A and B are shown apart, each in its own frame.
Chain A
Amino acid sequence: DVKVTQSSRYLVKRTGEKVFLECVQDMDHENMFWYRQDPGLGLRLIYFSYDVKMKEKGDIPEGYSVSREKKERFSLILESASTNQTSMYLCASRASGGAKDTQYFGPGTRLTVL
């Protein structure tokens, strides 16, 4: 059974702080993703990675960066948190190729920036 975990369920930070959100998957998946979820906007892709040290911008990368030093771990970084980054952040992973299309989500981190 695939397991995707995120470092925190709830996080409260102050404007201007640097924030790290960690995601770990245990199924040796090549692809990992960071989304933010806001009411009425669905799931919007921030960044994704298809291999170690590889990263690609999603639809809303501004204000975020990512790091993938190990295959199982994908980190989302808010360099200087702002109030408009208050949101639910979901990590996901997926294997590459063929019928292995299912994307597995982590439990989410609800981030509040004051």
Chain B
Amino acid sequence: GENVEQHPSTLSVQEGDSAVIKCTYSDSASNYFPWYKQELGKRPQLIIDIRSNVGEKKDQRIAVTLNKTAKHFSLHITETQPEDSAVYFCAARGTGGFKTIFGAGTRLFVKA
């Protein structure tokens, strides 16, 4: 069945460094790839998304890249800050699909 794998499961970086989280998906029909951030005790919230017709998207310190051929997509956070500490989930969904398949999550720690 459809699957999204996410790595690493835990990531610790120093404040100001960059953080990269990588995901792979199995369903080649997937064309929408959102990223959610879940702070401790709070609900997941969409932080950025990308569609299959683009290879990269940026929003301030956050960027997402997509390689459709390899079925890889990644989240890049530059100049990390302590408030970036959270669990990040990648996800994938296909055209007309109801189901969004989530990765297992990455717990990011940003050390001050």
Partner of A43, one of B9, B32, B44: B44
Sorting the interface of chain A by its residue count into under 10, 10 to 19, 20 to 34 or 35 or more gives: 20 to 34
For A90, the chain B residues whose CB sits under 8 A away are: 43-44
**Given A101-B49, A103-B34, A106-B43: A42 and B98 interface contact (C-beta under 8 Å):** no
Determine if A31 and B98 form an interchain contact, defined as CB atoms under 8 angstroms apart: yes
Partner of B45, one of A40, A45, A50, A105: A105
Kindly count the residue-residue contacts between A and B in the assembled complex, taking CB atoms under 8 Å apart. Answer: 45
The residues in B between 29 and 65 inclusive whose CB is less than 8 angstroms from any CB of A are 32, 34, 36, 42-46, 49
For A106, the chain B residues whose CB sits under 8 A away are: 43
CA A102 to CA B42, docked complex, whole Å? 17
Nearest-neighbour CB distance to chain B for A112, whole angstroms, equals 16
Determine if B89 and A101 form an interchain contact, defined as CB atoms under 8 angstroms apart: no
Determine if A50 and B98 form an interchain contact, defined as CB atoms under 8 angstroms apart: yes
CA A35 to CA B99, docked complex, whole Å? 11
The residues in B between 1 and 44 inclusive whose CB is less than 8 angstroms from any CB of A are 1, 6, 9, 32, 34, 36, 42-44
Nearest-neighbour CB distance to chain A for B97, whole angstroms, equals 10
Nearest-neighbour CB distance to chain B for A6, whole angstroms, equals 9
